Amino acid sequence: MAALPASGAIRLGRRLGPLLLAGLLLGAAPAAEPPRSVPAPGGVSVHEVTIAAPDILAVELRDPAFAPGRILALDTPRPEAPGTWVRHGNAWGLVIGPDRAHLRLADAGPGTSLDRRAVGAAKDYGRIGGRQVLAVYRKSMPYDSGIVRDEGGGTRAGVSFRHQVYLKLDGPVTRGSHAITWPGDLLPPTPFTYDDRTTRAIALRGTQLGHAPADTAKTAYLALWLPGGPAAGAVDFRRYGLNRFVVLDEDGRAVHSGEIRLRTAPDTPEPGNGLAKPLPDSLDVGGLRRPLDGFRARDGVVSARGHGLREGERVALDRLGGERVPFFVTVKAPTRDGFVAALPDRPLPEADRSGGSLLPAHPTNRAATFVFELDYTAWRPRRPGPYRLYVPGLGVSDPFPVADTVWLDAARVAIGGLYNHRSGIALDGRFGFHRPAAFRPGPDRPVRLSRLPLAWSVEGVEGFVSPEKALEPAWLTGRDAPATYWGGYMDAGDWDRRIQHVDVASLLLELFEGLPPHLRNADFGLPRSSEVLDDPVYAATDALPNLLHEPIWLLDFFRRLQAPHGGVSGGIESGGGPLLGEPSFLEHQAVFAYAPDPIASYRYAGAAAGLARVLRGLGQEAPAALFRESALRAWRWAEAGGADPEAAYAEALAAGRETGLFSAIPWETRRATLQRITGPVRIAAAAALFRLGEGRAFGQVFEQAWGGGFGIAERRADAAWDYAAAPEADARIRGQIEAALVREATGFAAAQRALSYPSMKHPYAPAGWGQGGAPDEAMTRLFVRAHRLSRHPELLRVMEQTAQGLLGANQLGLSLTTGLGIRRVRHPLHEDHRAMGVPVPPGITIYGFGPQATFSPDWLFGPTWAIFPEDEPGVPAERRIEPTRFAMPYFEGLIEHPLMVMQQEYTVHQSIGTTAALWLHLAAQSGRPTPPRDPGPMPTAITSGGR
């Protein structure tokens, strides 16, 4: 357990970042229960026994999970400040809430952990089915976390580990019943039965969502990386003679068969992987550590007496001068006591360094093993139901359903994820999560009006002011926001509501317009606008398609943030990151609203124009007129502000000058940056208003930009799409836009052929924040638009492969969406469920995989007090990720702890909204009617408890 970072650390995701419910999956027809032992109460347990290779058993062991605490209402407030631990009977509780009238009782930690040294002693295992254990390989990663008090009275983040233990035998496992006899008294004997037609093969990585019968990509993967195994852990299944697979129905009958084909080897380069090079560097697991004396910056010479390295060897300079991220270099011109560090993976230090170690390394792709593809696209299922993949001589996959509605059911879960992030209302459990109303302003919980615009905040784009400054005296207006300043979405790991979220509304509107009638009218279980919004204009909207109530919910929030002059605030935010253990509905920190700015106003204007157009097309004249008029007022104010930034930002300029904000970088430079950022969003708003039918002048704004080389990169594509869809668009320009969209998307799709696991990741975007799993908003729109225009089969295939990869067809066999899949992420950075001590709500898709070196703060990795200490003297082994994260392949290194922000965070617009849109588009491809669905709460089978 480790001391928590400052509260502002949770904001890092946004500052550093860019930018089905089928019954089988959710409990109606659960997978067969894996073999388990019965541990002593609170002890290490055997979670599952599977087969990894014909002669390798895979056993998942788990340290005990945390027993979550609860929130306790007190009869009288505490005198201590929020965040203080106090005694409550025999327990410790954290003071929380604005009135200090609640305690968050501490979670109970595991109390015990696996003896990692003992479990690795191959010679001490009993024979298994007559086979001897020759070697033990292990990967230890977190799977659970908790909130506890440390000995000094601070708050600490606990962690509990799962251990994937691989037992290499002296021959293939034989069919029949066997038992694992563990070293010493480590665990009771674990009985299991092996049958290749029923035992799960852990190396088979397929969808846990299932398929629609007409899917154009039905693919799974066979891949295994053994930490510390031969050949740097890469397992080549060809040496076992495994070359065929079979699809089995629920009765075990073969309905299809195919060939297992090699997709990539560990040394297959992956251009467009988002990393520094197609074959990134990795430490050798268990490699010999040699002392490093020092590094001389002027000529790149490494001093290491008697190192024994040869020319051309790849090595890591580990802990060079205390640096926690190793430098990977190639040995050049070696002497007895040193060598020149050549071909570094990043710039070497500019000053001399001393101390550290040399570790052997090697280049490998992100999989670091042989990835085989099982393509069963040619199979046309004759009936719905559960199926499995079967590799004779190995084992079977997880069961997966085949049904017409799998993509629609997934979309419903994602739409529910959006609902579960609504602010300002009580969440009623219809999507598997209950929560009281939060951030409803009033005399006791005011929202302060700030002079700080979101465009200047670091939470915007290229901002330069910390949002905490918004509540300082120079930045406050002295006025409180009206009582109507509530609603919208909580962003993600924190609870801020920002203008970026309008992308969710515009994306859903765009998807809605492309859906066939039966899907337009599908019931997603959302509340009607008249049930949750006060304006009487919504009384007549009850008959609207259910999906449209979600964009109405969001855009009505920003409409209410519109000032009388027409400018729109960039959102509402707390004065700091959440206090761990304190839920949103008990937020004790001050809350403020950003001042209006032209960028926020343009973004709102474009989204509101889109909603007005859709509503008008459905005969909803009154709400359409409401949003049309609001969009035009926002446009007019933004136009005036763009022409005279000094006037638009007058109050912010006064506060900035008073506080010395422009002492280092003058206002003139900041103004030029703001104007540059404003340009594309202005043109996008103009195109949306042109499509709404507001006149040629708006179309000419876009046409002028297009003639100047505006292009379709990122948000520019939104402007181009709206312009091209306008009835009065120039036919020549429309043709150019459509051709450019198709050309761009098909080029990106073709780039996936060389990758171990295809996805919709932009091949030129750096891997990292928001680029590890779910497609970003721009790529989602690009693929959907290009597919609608061209019906190109490869675009659809990549979209389906991306969706399947999010839901289990990845190297971990893990669903990255809560509430979907047999094995799914448990603890994303969602503060409310952690504080409340309840399961995470369904429908959250996390950022996912990311490079190990990109996010490496000391409070997470390194020192003895960190959550995951690394190679520090005296640190107990049970607190370490093993093997070390820099020896972990990219696709193996998903760290399931909420404070691994780069991987475990998400946002409503970067990952939840995009997956909802992707799955909606895939649902539209089946061309089959949707069965009627009763309105009301989602089925009780939706749970988010374990995997």
**Cα dihedral across residues 767, 769, 771, 772: positive or negative:** positive
Nearest to 387, CA basis, from 188, 587, 235, 250: 250
- Percentage of residues in the chain with pLDDT exceeding 70? 93
Q: How confident is the model at residue 767 (pLDDT cuts 50, 70, 90)?
A: confident
> Residue 842 pLDDT more than 70?
yes
State residue 872's pLDDT score: 67
Q: Helix (H, G, I), strand (E, B), or coil: what is residue 83?
A: coil
Cα–Cα–Cα angle for 725, 729, 734, rounded to 5 degrees: 70
State residue 185's pLDDT score: 84
**Pairing of β 591-595 and β 447-453:** parallel
State residue 524's pLDDT score: 97
> Residue 41 pLDDT more than 80?
no
Among all chains, which residue has been given the structure tokens 């009617």?
Answer: 929
| Torsion (CA) 194, 199, 200, 202 in degrees, nearest 10 | 20
Report, as an integer, the average pLDDT of 360-384. 96
Beta bridge partners of 204: 222
> Residue 27 pLDDT more than 50?
no
Report, as an integer, the average pLDDT of 610-638. 98
Residues 6+ apart with CB under 8 A from 145: 66, 157, 158, 159, 160, 827, 834, 897, 898, 899
Nearest to 313, CA basis, from 339, 348, 278: 339
Q: How far is CA 254 from CA 136, 248, 290, 393, 892, in A?
A: 35, 5, 54, 15, 32
Instruction: Please report, for the chain, how many H helices and E strands are present, in that order.
Output: 21, 37
Report, as an integer, the average pLDDT of 14-30. 32
Report, as an integer, the average pLDDT of 283-289. 92
- Percentage of residues in the chain with pLDDT exceeding 90? 86
Alpha helices in 791-830 (DSSP H): 793-806
State residue 529's pLDDT score: 98
> Residue 339 pLDDT more than 90?
yes
Name the packing angle between helices 406-419 and 549-560 (round to 10°): 20
pLDDT single digits (tens) 705-729: 999 999 999 889 999 999 999 999 9
Q: Which amino acid is at 379?
A: W
DSSP codes, 515-571: S-HHHHT----PPPHHHH---GGGGGGTTS-GGGHHHHHHHHHHHHTB-TTS-BB-E
> Residue 3 pLDDT more than 50?
no
- Whether the Cβ atoms of residue 769 and residue 16 lie closer than 8 Å to each other: yes
Q: Which two tokens stand for residue 340?
A: 């020149």
State residue 17's pLDDT score: 38
Among all chains, which residue has been given the structure tokens 């259910």?
Answer: 546
Lowest-confidence segment of 20-34, 292-306, 858-872 by average pLDDT: 20-34
Lowest-confidence segment of 91-100, 577-586, 659-668, 927-936 by average pLDDT: 927-936
pLDDT single digits (tens) 550-562: 999 999 999 999 9
**Pairing of β 861-862 and β 868-869:** parallel
Q: How far is CA 441 from CA 444, 487, 545, 576, in A?
A: 8, 10, 31, 18
Q: How confident is the model at residue 927 (pLDDT cuts 50, 70, 90)?
A: low
Q: How many CA atoms lie within 13 A of 281 on its CB side?
A: 22
- DSSP E strand boundaries for 459-535: 476-480, 497-498
Q: How confident is the model at residue 542 (pLDDT cuts 50, 70, 90)?
A: very high
Whole-number Å distance between alpha carbons of 475 and 495: 21
First CA to last CA distance, the chain: 24
Nearest to 539, CA basis, from 531, 528, 530, 547: 530
Beta bridge partners of 220: 374
State residue 736's pLDDT score: 98
Whole-number Å distance between alpha carbons of 247 and 388: 6
Among all chains, which residue has been given the structure tokens 């926020």?
Answer: 600
State residue 84's pLDDT score: 97
> Residue 18 pLDDT more than 50?
no
Q: How confident is the model at residue 866 (pLDDT cuts 50, 70, 90)?
A: confident
Nearest to 721, CA basis, from 603, 555, 602, 610: 610
pLDDT single digits (tens) 500-540: 999 999 999 999 999 999 999 999 999 999 999 999 999 99
State residue 705's pLDDT score: 97
Q: Which two tokens stand for residue 726?
A: 């306008």
Mean pLDDT of the chain: 92
> Residue 307 pLDDT more than 60?
yes
Among all chains, which residue has been given the structure tokens 């799914």?
Answer: 824
Whole-number Å distance between alpha carbons of 205 and 221: 5
- Whether the Cβ atoms of residue 859 and residue 2 lie closer than 8 Å to each other: yes
pLDDT single digits (tens) 209-219: 999 999 999 99
Phi, psi torsion values for 666, nearest 5 degrees: -70, 160
Q: What is the DSSP letter of 276?
A: S
Report, as an integer, the average pLDDT of 852-878. 81
